[in-house]
Chains A and B, each alone.
Chain A
Amino acid sequence: MTKKKSIFTQEVIVGIVLVALYFIFRTISSDFGKYTTFLSMMDISYYYALMAIGVAFPLITGGVDLSIGTGMICYALAGGCLIRFYNVPTGLAMLVSILFGLGIGLANGVLISVMGLPPFLATLCTCMITRGLGSVVTGSFAIPWPTAKQDNGWFHSIFKITLADKTKLPLGLVWIILLMLIMQFVLAHTRFGRYTIAIGSNKEAAILSGINVKFYHIMVYAVSGLFAGLASIAYAAVIKTVQPGTGAGMELDAIGGAIVGGVSASGGYGTIYGTVIGAYVILFLKQGLPYIGFNANMQQIITGFVLIGAVTIDIIKRKVIK
Chain B
Amino acid sequence: MGEVILTMKNIDKSFPGVHALDHVDFELKRGEVHALMGENGAGKSTLMKVLTGIYTKDSGTITYEGREVEFHNTHDAQAAGIVIVHQELNMVGDLTVAQNIFIGREFKKGFMIDDRKMIQESKKLFDELHINIDPKAKMSDLTVGKQQMCEIAKAISHQAKVIIFDEPSAALTEKEIEDLFAIIRDLRKQNLGIIYISHRMDEIKVITDRVTVMRDGAYVGTLITDECTKEDIINMMVGRVIYEDPKTHSMVPADAPVVLKVEHLNAGKMVQDVSFELRKGEILGFSGLMGAGRTEMARALFGADPKTGGDIYINGKKVTINSPEDAVKNGIGYLSEDRKRFGIVVQKTITENSTLATLPKYMSGLFINKGAEKEVTEQYIKELDTKTPSADQLVVNLSGGNQQKVVIAKWLVRNCDILIFDEPTRGIDVGAKNEIYKLMNRLAAEGKSIIMISSEMTEILRMSDRIIVMCEGKKTGEISIEEATQEAIMDKATRDIK
Whether A and B touch (Cβ < 8 Å) is answered with yes
Residues of A within 8 A of B (CB): 1-3, 185, 189-191, 194-195, 197-198, 200-202, 204-212, 268-269, 321
Q: Kindly list chain A residues whose C-beta atoms are within 8 Å of the C-beta of B136.
A: 2
Q: Please judge, given known A-B contacts A2-B136, A189-B115, whether A200 and B141 are in contact too, CB under 8 Å.
A: no
Asked if residues B103 and A194 are in contact (CB atoms below 8 Å), the reply is: yes
Q: Please judge, given known A-B contacts A189-B115, A321-B140, whether A209 and B95 are in contact too, CB under 8 Å.
A: no
Q: Can you add 12 more A-B contacts, CB < 8 Å, to A1-B142, A2-B141, A206-B103?
A: A2-B137, A191-B113, A195-B103, A197-B92, A201-B92, A205-B89, A206-B104, A209-B74, A210-B105, A211-B75, A211-B103, A212-B75
Bound state CA distance, A201 and B142, in angstroms?
15
> How distant is A272 from chain B, measured CB to nearest CB, in Å?
16
Asked if residues B74 and A210 are in contact (CB atoms below 8 Å), the reply is: yes
Bound state CA distance, A205 and B93, in angstroms?
10
Kindly identify which residue among B75, B77, B90, B106 contacts A194, using a CB–CB cutoff of 8 Å. B106
Residue with the greatest number of chain B CB neighbours at <10 A, chosen from A201, A208, A269? A208
Bound state CA distance, A48 and B54, in angstroms?
41
- Give the secondary structure class of B's interface: loop
20 A-B Cβ contacts within 8 A? Answer: A1-B142, A2-B136, A2-B138, A3-B141, A189-B112, A189-B113, A191-B108, A194-B103, A194-B106, A197-B94, A197-B95, A198-B92, A198-B103, A208-B84, A208-B86, A208-B90, A209-B74, A209-B90, A210-B73, A210-B74
Bound state CA distance, A178 and B208, in angstroms?
58
Asked if residues A210 and B75 are in contact (CB atoms below 8 Å), the reply is: yes
The answer, yes or no, to whether B15 is at the interface (CB within 8 Å) is no
Asked if residues B92 and A205 are in contact (CB atoms below 8 Å), the reply is: yes
Asked if residues A190 and B113 are in contact (CB atoms below 8 Å), the reply is: yes
Asked if residues B94 and A200 are in contact (CB atoms below 8 Å), the reply is: yes
The answer, yes or no, to whether B134 is at the interface (CB within 8 Å) is yes
Q: Kindly list chain A residues whose C-beta atoms are within 8 Å of the C-beta of B94.
A: 197-198, 200-201, 268-269
Asked if residues B93 and A1 are in contact (CB atoms below 8 Å), the reply is: no
Q: Please judge, given known A-B contacts A200-B94, A206-B103, whether A194 and B113 are in contact too, CB under 8 Å.
A: yes
Bound state CA distance, A294 and B201, in angstroms?
72
> How distant is A141 from chain B, measured CB to nearest CB, in Å?
43
Bound state CA distance, A191 and B92, in angstroms?
14
Q: Kindly list chain B residues whose C-beta atoms are within 8 Å of the C-beta of A205.
A: 89-92
Q: Kindly list chain B residues whose C-beta atoms are within 8 Å of the C-beta of A268.
A: 92-94
The answer, yes or no, to whether B377 is at the interface (CB within 8 Å) is no
Bound state CA distance, A191 and B141, in angstroms?
23
> How distant is B122 from chain A, measured CB to nearest CB, in Å?
14
Q: Kindly list chain A residues whose C-beta atoms are within 8 Å of the C-beta of B133.
A: 1
Q: Type the 1/0 row for B61-79, where 1 means its CB is closer than 8 Å to any CB of A.
A: 0000000000001110111
Q: Kindly list chain A residues whose C-beta atoms are within 8 Å of the C-beta of B137.
A: 1-2
Q: Please judge, given known A-B contacts A190-B111, A206-B103, A209-B104, whether A321 and B141 are in contact too, CB under 8 Å.
A: yes
> How distant is A288 from chain B, measured CB to nearest CB, in Å?
34
Closest 3 CB pairs of A and B: A210-B75, A205-B90, A201-B94
Kindly identify which residue among B77, B91, B95, B141 contacts A1, using a CB–CB cutoff of 8 Å. B141
> How distant is A56 from chain B, measured CB to nearest CB, in Å?
15
Q: Nearest residue in B to A197 (C-beta to C-beta)?
A: B94
> How distant is A320 from chain B, measured CB to nearest CB, in Å?
11
Asked if residues B90 and A204 are in contact (CB atoms below 8 Å), the reply is: yes
Asked if residues B95 and A201 are in contact (CB atoms below 8 Å), the reply is: yes
Q: Kindly list chain A residues whose C-beta atoms are within 8 Å of the C-beta of B212.
A: none
Bound state CA distance, A185 and B106, in angstroms?
16
The answer, yes or no, to whether B295 is at the interface (CB within 8 Å) is no
> How distant is B15 from chain A, measured CB to nearest CB, in Å?
18
> How distant is B118 from chain A, measured CB to nearest CB, in Å?
11
Bound state CA distance, A291 and B104, in angstroms?
51
Q: Type the 1/0 row for B116-156, where 1 means its CB is closer than 8 Å to any CB of A.
A: 00000000000000000110111011100000000000000
Bound state CA distance, A230 and B83, in angstroms?
42
> How distant is A266 from chain B, measured CB to nearest CB, in Å?
11
Residue with the greatest number of chain B CB neighbours at <10 A, chosen from A190, A198, A200, A212? A198
Q: Nearest residue in A to B154 (C-beta to C-beta)?
A: A209
Asked if residues A210 and B113 are in contact (CB atoms below 8 Å), the reply is: no
Q: Kindly list chain A residues whose C-beta atoms are within 8 Å of the C-beta of B225.
A: none
Q: Kindly list chain A residues whose C-beta atoms are within 8 Å of the C-beta of B74.
A: 207-210
Kindly identify which residue among A185, A194, A202, A210 contacts B93, using a CB–CB cutoff of 8 Å. A202
> How distant is B92 from chain A, measured CB to nearest CB, in Å?
4
Q: Kindly list chain A residues whose C-beta atoms are within 8 Å of the C-beta of B141.
A: 1-3, 321
Q: Please judge, given known A-B contacts A210-B73, A211-B104, A321-B140, whether A194 and B134 are in contact too, CB under 8 Å.
A: no
The answer, yes or no, to whether B99 is at the interface (CB within 8 Å) is yes
Asked if residues B111 and A194 are in contact (CB atoms below 8 Å), the reply is: no
Q: Please judge, given known A-B contacts A1-B134, A1-B141, A2-B137, whether A191 and B106 are in contact too, CB under 8 Å.
A: yes
Q: Nearest residue in B to A322 (C-beta to C-beta)?
A: B140
Q: Nearest residue in B to A214 (C-beta to C-beta)?
A: B73
Residue with the greatest number of chain A CB neighbours at <10 A, chosen from B92, B115, B134? B92
Which positions 209-232 of chain B face chain A at CB distance < 8 Å?
none
Q: Please judge, given known A-B contacts A2-B134, A211-B104, whether A202 and B90 are in contact too, CB under 8 Å.
A: yes
Which positions 153-204 of chain B face chain A at CB distance < 8 Å?
none
Residue with the greatest number of chain B CB neighbours at <10 A, chosen from A194, A206, A321? A194
Q: Kindly list chain A residues whose C-beta atoms are within 8 Å of the C-beta of B91.
A: 202, 205
Q: Kindly list chain B residues whose C-beta atoms are within 8 Å of the C-beta of A200.
A: 94
Asked if residues B78 and A194 are in contact (CB atoms below 8 Å), the reply is: no
> How distant is A277 from chain B, measured CB to nearest CB, in Å?
20
Bound state CA distance, A190 and B111, in angstroms?
6
Asked if residues A198 and B95 are in contact (CB atoms below 8 Å), the reply is: yes
> How distant is A131 from chain B, measured CB to nearest CB, in Å?
32
Bound state CA distance, A205 and B85, in angstroms?
11
Bound state CA distance, A212 and B105, in angstroms?
11
Q: Kindly list chain A residues whose C-beta atoms are within 8 Å of the C-beta of B73.
A: 210
Bound state CA distance, A265 and B103, in angstroms?
24
Q: Please judge, given known A-B contacts A3-B141, A202-B93, A321-B140, whether A194 and B112 are in contact too, CB under 8 Å.
A: no
Q: Kindly list chain B residues whose C-beta atoms are within 8 Å of the C-beta of A197.
A: 92, 94-95
Q: Kindly list chain B residues whose C-beta atoms are within 8 Å of the C-beta of A208.
A: 54, 74, 84, 86, 90
Which positions 397-430 of chain B face chain A at CB distance < 8 Å?
none
Kindly identify which residue among A2, A189, A194, A210 contacts B95, using a CB–CB cutoff of 8 Å. A194
Q: Kindly list chain A residues whose C-beta atoms are within 8 Å of the C-beta of B104.
A: 206, 209-211
Bound state CA distance, A42 and B91, in angstroms?
42
Q: Nearest residue in B to A2 (C-beta to C-beta)?
A: B137
Bound state CA distance, A210 and B84, in angstroms?
11
Q: Kindly list chain A residues whose C-beta atoms are within 8 Å of the C-beta of B54.
A: 208
> How distant is A285 from chain B, measured CB to nearest CB, in Å?
29
Q: Kindly list chain B residues whose C-beta atoms are within 8 Å of the C-beta of A189.
A: 112-113, 115
Bound state CA distance, A321 and B93, in angstroms?
12
Q: Type the 1/0 row for B223-260, where 1 means its CB is closer than 8 Å to any CB of A.
A: 00000000000000000000000000000000000000
Bound state CA distance, A185 and B138, in angstroms?
19
Bound state CA distance, A210 and B93, in angstroms?
17
> How distant is A207 from chain B, measured CB to nearest CB, in Å?
7
